[in-house]
Amino acid sequence: MCGIWALFGSDECLSVQCLSAMKIAHRGPDAFRFENVNGFTNCCFGFHRLAVVDQLYGMQPIRVKKFPYLWLCYNGEIYNFKQLQKQFEFDFQTLVDGEVILHLYNRGGIEQTASMLDGVFAFILLDTANRKVFLARDTYGVRPLFKVLTDDGFLGVCSEAKGLINLKHSTSLCSKVEPFLPGHYEVLDLKPSGKVASVELVKFHSCKDEPLHVACDTVEALPSGFDLETVKSNIRVLFENAVRKRLMAHRRIGCLLSGGLDSSLVAAVLLKLMKEININYPLQTFAIGMENSPDLLAARKVAAHIGSEHHEVILNTEEGIQAIEEVIFSLETYDITTIRASIGMYLVSRYIRKKTDSVVIFSGEGSDELTQGYIYFHKAPSPEEAAEESERLLKELYLFDVLRADRTTAAHGLELRVPFLDHRFTSYYLSLPAELRIPKNGIEKYLLRLSFEDSNLLPKEILWRPKEAFSDGIASVKKSWFSILQDYIDQQVDDLLLEKAAEKYPFNPPKTKESYYYRQIFEKHYSGRSSWLPHYWMPRWVKATDPSARTLKHYKSATQE
């Protein structure tokens, strides 16, 4: 996890512009470099480094003697770089996984490069010989990327929007800063003036498609067919493989553990594999919640079962409320459920940074979207509509859960690893018949649970524990975190302000005092940027006025039984 930043065709002094690059310094606390591009005095790269792989030669932009005309700035991890190096006999100059991007590009161009990378990434690749700039982002947008491109060809690119919004430019109105779409690459022409012109934006991978890099995966062809035993075995093999490849790190590995199915599975498989490869330190797991909250109690049970070195962070209501503004600044969103869930994750990440030496943090993001884990999937009209909804949620992850997971950890210089969003695992799961993937017997994620039932990885009561939203599970059963937030905010926002909310904020107007409060803070830091969130996250097929699972009838009936 790093922070990348680049400008092409700047009219303003670069020494002034580079102050914007410092807005993302939290993403790379180990080192910083600012470098001009030879022959293009108004083009430059900025890089904040978190040293996780090759601590000696890992600074960026990466340049190698073999390709002196290529400049690469990337944020991410390429898990199959060694397999690619072996298959194509690449001669590496460093131990950096990202160096493979330069070799792939030289061998087959940008389309093959983006398609063959098994990992999470956002990168800027400059080819001065052919006067091209390339931008690319992984399938689910696990690594963030924003850009701004003006009509006269000034381009700014950054890991977070906050590194672009204050850039200076000669035109009176700077074009809008926007997220770069996941699963896409863009080709831009670089003019002698240093300005650029967009040539094409190409979608190189869809979540349902088996990725091209399967050809050089460590797991070979899987048994075909949809009989239940074959499917369960394939799910276990691919998930274990997803965790195994993410063990690539020179820094200590830890794991977030809410006690829910997803993070518990990740932690259990992770610890098992760490033992297999003789990692000689205990796995640290981290839970956050109020005293005796459902998440804390469940996480404690999982940690005892798997044998991790477990840390509990007790959430103090006042501390959580005080963190709201810095959380919204970090997130760059005003989405209600994202902010609620981010507060706990932000505070536990702060604890990890201050109190431990774990830096590479595994987490369970992506499972709810992939395996139909949200409570409202029980109300899906048909298996086919449930499958469509699952794909929609995956495509929008970069606006919600993946955004939350990246920003809350990156704010404290941690690197996130999310095995549930492994390209091969997700494409296999989405290839299964829609009927197999829906909730069964009143239990969501039924197929995933069933696949691990005989593995003894987790206690049965955890494997079959009903869904708890992270922002709800960290609170007590008696009072949800969202209702605690609402009680506080009710005192902060006047009724009259809410009545006139649609006049003040015509796009995505706030409907509650809570959403109004978040929007006010967002506009304070990112005025006029409300289009970054196309719509609020809300359950479907139910008449929901609040995104919390605890407001849904299914949750109430389940907890009252």
Amino acid identity at 277: I
DSSP classification of residue 58: -
CA distance 47 to 42: 17
Q: In DSSP terms, which residues pair with 156 in a beta bridge?
A: 7, 148
> What does the DSSP assignment read for 164-191?
TTT---SSSSPPPPEEPPTTEEEEEEEP
Q: What share of the chain is helix, strand, coil (3-state, %, to 5)?
A: 45, 20, 40
- Which residues, 6+ apart, have CB-to-CB distance to 514 below 8 Å? 336, 482, 485, 486, 489
Q: In DSSP terms, which residues pair with 196 in a beta bridge?
A: 190
- Detail the DSSP E strand segments found in 108-212: 119-127, 132-137, 146-149, 155-158, 178-179, 184-190, 196-203
Distances (CA, A) of 27 to 57, 95, 143, 174, 419: 18, 21, 11, 25, 21
Report the sign of the C-alpha dihedral through residues 8, 14, 20, 23, in that order. Answer: positive
- Render the burial of 379-391: b for 16+ CB within 10 Å, e for the rest: ebeeeeebbebbe
For residue 454, what is the enclosing H or E element?
Answer: none
CA distance 142 to 27: 14
CA distance 251 to 51: 8
- Which residues, 6+ apart, have CB-to-CB distance to 159 below 8 Å? 2, 3, 4, 5, 24, 27, 75, 122, 143, 144, 145, 146, 410
Q: In DSSP terms, which residues pair with 75 in a beta bridge?
A: 122
Query: Listing from the earlier edge strand, what are the strands of the sheet with 62-64?
Result: 62-64, 67-78, 119-127, 132-137, 184-190, 196-203
- Establish whether 363 is an annotated binding residue: yes
Main-chain dihedrals φ then ψ at residue 131, nearest 5 degrees: 50, 55
User: Among this protein's residues, is 2 annotated catalytic?
Assistant: yes
- Establish whether 288 is an annotated binding residue: yes
Token duo for residue 202? 């190409």
Burial grade of 56 (CB within 10 A; 0-12, 13-18, 19 or more): exposed
- Establish whether 97 is an annotated binding residue: yes
CA distance 241 to 422: 9
Burial grade of 558 (CB within 10 A; 0-12, 13-18, 19 or more): middle
330 close to 144: Cβ distance less than 8 angstroms? no
- Establish whether 289 is an annotated binding residue: no
Q: In DSSP terms, which residues pair with 62 in a beta bridge?
A: 72
- Establish whether 10 is an annotated binding residue: no
Catalytic pick among 2, 73, 174, 207: 2
Residue of 41, 93, 50, 17 whose CA lies nearest to 353: 50
Annotated binding residues for ATP: 256, 288, 363-364
The catalytic residues are 2
Residues in binding site for L-glutamine: 97
User: Annotated binding site, which residues?
Assistant: 97, 256, 288, 363-364
